[in-house]
Amino acid sequence: MPSSLEVNIQHRFQRAIGDKANGDFFGGAIVDMGLDWRAWKGLCLRMDGFSQNSEFDLGGRWNQNLIKDRLDVAGEIQFFNFDRSAIDLSRASNAYYLASICFQPLPNRVYLTVQDGYDGYYLYSAPSVAALVKCSESVELIWRILPAPRSLSSDPGQDE
């Protein structure tokens, strides 16, 4: 049974270097700490915590190679819980679903991907098409078509 555990710590400063306001590790920054556990071949479980919006995520991803070095399919689901508003400190939950298929017409060189995700909080689908071409070990060209951004300024959870 193949298994591995990856610990992620990401830190993104939101202030200029040298700014003394909120000068500790967390002050004025977005911090993401998480675990990725590759529990079984093709199955990855993850848990993340973000300082922004006090978000907590749980999720899983399954990936299956259907044709060696040519065709992969994947499915993913993530559950989120986050602060809806810094003013009233109410919390909201969300689920996000994703399905994708990746074809490699030139194995390990050209990747074509079609995927569709669904956001359960804003109630919309997010299909996309992408191509990746590996020019060298350190250079990749990525082309992606995404739907036009939809205005998400209204919070559907505020009507509750």
Secondary-structure percent of the chain, ordered helix, strand, coil, rounded to 5: 5, 60, 35
Q: Tokens 């556990």 — which residue?
A: 37
pLDDT at 85 over 60: yes
Q: With a cut of 50, say whether residue 79 has pLDDT above it.
A: yes
Going by the DSSP 8-state scheme, the letter that residue 2 receives in this structure is -
Six-digit token pair at 147? Answer: 């739907």
Extract the tokens encoding 51.
Answer: 């300082």
pLDDT at 17 over 90: no
Residue 36, pLDDT score: 87
Is the pLDDT at 97 greater than 80? The verdict is yes
Quote the pLDDT of residue 86. 63
The closest alpha carbon to 60, from 30, 15, 96, 94, belongs to 96
Q: Which pTM does this prediction carry?
A: 0.67
pLDDT at 105 over 70: yes
Among residues of the chain, what percentage have pLDDT more than 70? 76
**pLDDT of 51:** 78
pLDDT at 8: 78
Band (160; pLDDT cuts 50, 70, 90): very low
Alpha-carbon gap, residue 1 to 40, rounded angstroms: 6
